[in-house]
Amino acid sequence: MSAFFAIESTDICVYQSNLCKFRIQMEIPNSKLPQFRIEMEMVAYTVVELEKNPYSWTKVANIIFLDQPVGTGFSYAKTPDAYITNDTLSSMHAYHFLRKWLVDHPKFLNNPFYLGGESYMGIVAPMIVNEIYKGNEVGEGPQIKIKGYMLGNPLTDTSGDYNSRIPFLHRTGLLSNEIYKSTKENCHGNYLDVDPNNHRCINDLKVVDKCIGRINKPQILEPACDTSNTIKSYHFRRGLVSLHNASMDIWSLPQVRIQGCRDDHYIYSYVWANRRDVREALHIDEEFDEIKWVRCNESLFFNFFTKPISNTHNVLNTVAYHENLANKNCRALVFSGDHDMVVP
């Protein structure tokens, strides 16, 4: 669920984050995007090393990493109401940010511009590109030289994409023919909004859940993370107290046990992002020194009705946006890996 804007050496790129990303994305473990990466091997015990990534995209493009929606990463709002947002508002905020950024950095005005994203950003990213075209067409300045967009495993049609998970599980051998046939027939192909009186469908879906209970949903070739034992779970439950210790240094952390769970790698991103020198390099406002970076600001996602802070998903389908952009001859690269169950 991320998006980025890219500018080659002569181009602009913005990487727009979702609820679980941060301003400078760490490479965990195989992305070639960031300039630096945390290098960890899947062995019984390991230590962390930070090294330059020789294949970083930053060698060929200027990339803007954007914390969005507001409240993610180091982004903040000055009033409580400003945290109440949705897909439409998020796309508008990103669009206005881009124009203001170009005003402040005029040397990039003539650079070709691309936008990219993944997963849930398949909803918001094409909306941003559409806003850019609309602004250019009515003469809003500065003009953004939009050239295209790219999306990986993008959510496009909420109902269709989520309902495709069951056929995906069958196709990849994670569901037997018998379970798939029964579930398909009893649920009538609708696994998202199930009739509570359709007990056969509900029971079949419980069987499906058991079949995939130990599977990592974003990467089905890996086991699900054992959150009862992982460092990640410990720090989330303890409120990251130990990581908030100003004296803690990423290089002085003890050896960490790695059990084949990629989520364990994220512990180092917390320490790195909250280092004083990193915050200074990112120009984090000193007024917000007490705010600590977290990978997932769950208050934006889970507390729709209990807190004034919320991020509402008000756009369920962006097929029309893609069609509109195609009619404008906007270049697009849409690709999907075959191991992602979240958005198959």
Q: Write out pLDDT tens, residues 86-130.
A: 899 999 999 999 999 999 999 999 999 999 888 989 999 999 999
pLDDT at 236 over 60: no
CB under 8 Å to 48, separation ≥6 — which residues?
A: 38, 39, 40, 250, 251, 253, 256, 268
Per-residue confidence (pLDDT) for residue 223, from 0 to 100? 83
Closest CA to 117 of 143, 149, 95: 149
Q: What is the pLDDT of residue 37?
A: 52
pLDDT of 190 strictly over 90: yes
25 pLDDT above the threshold of 60: no
Read off the pTM: 0.78
d(CA 34, CA 37): 7
Which residues, at least 6 apart from 30, have a Cβ–Cβ distance to it below 8 Å?
A: none
Per the structure block, which two tokens stand in for 240?
A: 């990251």
Domain range 2-159+314-335, its CATH number among 3.40.50.1820, 3.40.50.10860, 3.40.50.300, 3.30.470.20: 3.40.50.1820
The domain locations on the chain are 2-159+314-335, 175-211
Range name among 54-58, 224-228, 269-273 with the lowest pLDDT average: 224-228
